[in-house]
């Protein structure tokens, strides 16, 4: 569908063919670029040492600039950019199997699996070598292998799969909360028994009966301490950050590696099977369904994209506001929250992130179809084509800038200063992307992944010039 350009700008066709043989859909590149850059606004919390203790401290204050700034970033970006990345990844899986690509010299399924295994390796390097504890490449590689058999489903079947996995994700959040409710129930039983022992002792003493001292069993003491420890861990205490900050500011790479190893292992193993599978599969399935429906290629009119975007975004932001509101209540008095609330504050977070991410994509597709701010979207498209390179660059730059073996700024910058670092890095990556793609077909990491996946039979990385014979271009 072609629409008339507005504001004197040339409209961008949502579906385009690149100068090289494989089909590219510009909307996917734009969305991928925005998601990778936007995710840094949340990733910088971990890179820069803006800890959960500090975040909860601001939430408890419920006032001031830091509170409003954190709330806005959490509401608009936390989990939403990862959902957008997964949406595009799901669409890209279908595109990979449907595009006509002469570079394949073996079955497309074998090429895809090979590519996913290399993506897993890239993720391990990003996590274990670059020391990025929140890496997502490893998980995308695994999810691609697990979910690609579902490409034969109709878009309705894929929508159902997305809905089921999203509801299971909500159920996982409830399951985690119900475990805490069980801990509290055991605590109540133990404290009730303690009160009974005390009352019996008083009654016996009033009757002149020598009372034997009743004590709690070892298991009962453990049940009591479990709840008390849970409450203690939830109280914001900025002093708890001191030990972690000291470890992260060490100038010894090996010491930092050992300090982060438990977090790396937990992310790549425990988080993957407990939450990661449902977190990513729900939006990957959704991306696959939307691609089959033509959502990324002008399936709907611009006004429909706008209406859907505003509606979805409103729903997602409302759910996010309620989540933050009840999170504040739980921090103020978690015992009271458990007594009065049968469900956790984050039970609808999986739905919130899906609605918000879809709202963003609808609005972006509206602007693309209308040709509004076309130069900006072209710049984001360039970033999207180099998304793997930029994701790895972000990890490398931030770990060197913040960790002790680099410049050692971990835990030393305010929340606002962290976002200034993000803004500077985003500008550098946009400029780099535009300049790089003037001379090359692919980013460095993208070319390496393609080379490892396809072998030697692929297009060269460099674009030929008038002065350079095509046979001399790097192959």
Residue 31 falls within a domain, yes or no? Answer: yes
Contact 324, 74 (CB under 8 A): yes
Distance separating alpha carbons of residues 314 and 309, to the nearest angstrom: 8
Distance separating alpha carbons of residues 305 and 105, to the nearest angstrom: 39
Residue 8 falls within a domain, yes or no? Answer: no
Residue 399 falls within a domain, yes or no? Answer: yes
Distances (CA, A) of 259 to 53, 133, 248: 19, 11, 8
Distance separating alpha carbons of residues 267 and 272, to the nearest angstrom: 7
Distance separating alpha carbons of residues 140 and 112, to the nearest angstrom: 13
User: Which pLDDT score is estimated for 45?
Assistant: 97
Number of domains in the chain: 1
φ, ψ for residue 440 (rounded to 5)?
-135, 150
Residue 2 falls within a domain, yes or no? Answer: no
Residue 3 falls within a domain, yes or no? Answer: no
Distance, C-alpha 39 to centroid of its chain: 7
Residue 244 falls within a domain, yes or no? Answer: yes
Cβ neighbours around 419 below 10 Å, total: 18
User: Which pLDDT score is estimated for 470?
Assistant: 44
Q: Mapping DSSP to helix (H, G, I), strand (E, B) and coil, where does residue 250 land? A: coil
Distance separating alpha carbons of residues 473 and 471, to the nearest angstrom: 6
Residue 4 falls within a domain, yes or no? Answer: no
The 10s digit of each residue's pLDDT in 241-289 is: 999 999 999 999 999 999 999 999 999 888 998 999 999 999 999 999 9
Residue 5 falls within a domain, yes or no? Answer: no
The angle subtended at Cα 365 by Cα 72 and Cα 382, nearest 5°, is 85
Low-confidence residues in the chain, pLDDT < 70: 1-23, 100-105, 200-214, 456-459, 465-475
| Maximal C-alpha separation, the chain | 109
Distance separating alpha carbons of residues 263 and 408, to the nearest angstrom: 20
User: Which pLDDT score is estimated for 233?
Assistant: 81
Which runs of E-coded beta strand occur in 248-309?
A: none
Cβ neighbours around 167 below 10 Å, total: 14
Q: What is the pTM of this model?
A: 0.89
Distance separating alpha carbons of residues 306 and 311, to the nearest angstrom: 9
Point out which residues pair with 16 in neighbouring strands. Answer: 24
Contact 136, 42 (CB under 8 A): no
Contact 297, 369 (CB under 8 A): no
Distances (CA, A) of 243 to 49, 240, 246, 276, 410: 12, 7, 5, 28, 12
Which range marks the domain in which residue 66 is found? Answer: 16-472
Contact 292, 364 (CB under 8 A): no
User: Which pLDDT score is estimated for 467?
Assistant: 56
């Amino acid at each position: 569908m072609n629409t008339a350009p507005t504001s004197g700008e040339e409209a961008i066709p949502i579906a385009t063919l690149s100068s090289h043989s494989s089909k590219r859909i510009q909307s996917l590149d734009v969305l991928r670029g925005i998601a990778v850059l936007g995710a840094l606004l949340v990733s910088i919390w971990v890179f820069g040492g803006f800890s959960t203790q500090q975040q909860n401290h601001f939430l408890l204050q419920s006032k001031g600039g830091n509170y409003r700034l954190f709330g806005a970033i959490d509401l608009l970006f936390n989990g939403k950019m990862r959902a957008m990345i997964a949406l595009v990844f799901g669409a890209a899986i279908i595109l990979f199997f449907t595009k006509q690509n002469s570079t394949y010299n073996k079955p497309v399924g074998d090429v895809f699996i090979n590519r996913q295994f290399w993506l897993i390796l890239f993720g391990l390097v990003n996590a274990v070598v670059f020391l990025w504890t929140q890496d997502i490449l490893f998980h995308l590689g695994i999810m691609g292998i697990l979910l690609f058999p579902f490409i034969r489903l109709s878009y309705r079947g894929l929508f159902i799969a997305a809905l089921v996995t999203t509801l299971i994700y909500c159920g996982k959040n409830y399951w985690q909360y119900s475990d805490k409710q069980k801990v509290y129930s055991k605590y109540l039983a133990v404290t009730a028994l303690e009160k009974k022992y005390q009352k019996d002792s008083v009654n016996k003493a009033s009757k002149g009966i020598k009372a034997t001292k009743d004590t709690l069993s070892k298991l009962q003491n453990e049940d009591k301490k479990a709840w008390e420890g849970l409450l203690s861990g939830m109280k914001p205490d900025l002093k708890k950050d001191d030990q972690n900050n000291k470890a992260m500011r060490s100038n010894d790479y090996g010491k930092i590696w050992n300090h982060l190893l438990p977090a790396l292992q937990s992310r790549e193993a425990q988080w993957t099977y407990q939450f990661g599978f449902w977190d990513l599969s729900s939006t990957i399935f959704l991306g696959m369904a939307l691609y089959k429906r033509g959502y990324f290629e002008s399936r709907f009119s611009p006004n429909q994209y706008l209406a859907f975007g505003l509606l979805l975004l409103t729903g997602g932001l409302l759910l996010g506001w309620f989540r933050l509101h009840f999170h504040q209540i739980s921090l103020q008095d978690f015992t009271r929250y458990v007594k009065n609330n049968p469900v956790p504050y984050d039970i609808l977070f999986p739905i919130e992130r899906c609605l918000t991410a879809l709202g963003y994509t609808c609005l972006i597709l509206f602007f693309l179809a209308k040709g509004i701010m076309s130069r900006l979207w072209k710049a984001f498209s360039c970033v999207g084509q180099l998304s793997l390179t930029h994701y790895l660059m972000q990890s490398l730059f931030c770990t060197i800038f913040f960790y002790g073996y680099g410049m050692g700024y971990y835990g030393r910058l305010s929340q606002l200063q962290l976002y200034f670092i993000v803004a500077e890095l985003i500008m550098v990556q946009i400029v780099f992307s535009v300049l790089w793609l003037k001379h090359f077909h692919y980013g460095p990491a993208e070319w390496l992944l393609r080379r490892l996946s396809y072998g030697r039979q692929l297009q060269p990385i460099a674009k030929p010039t008038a002065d350079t014979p095509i046979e001399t271009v790097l192959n």
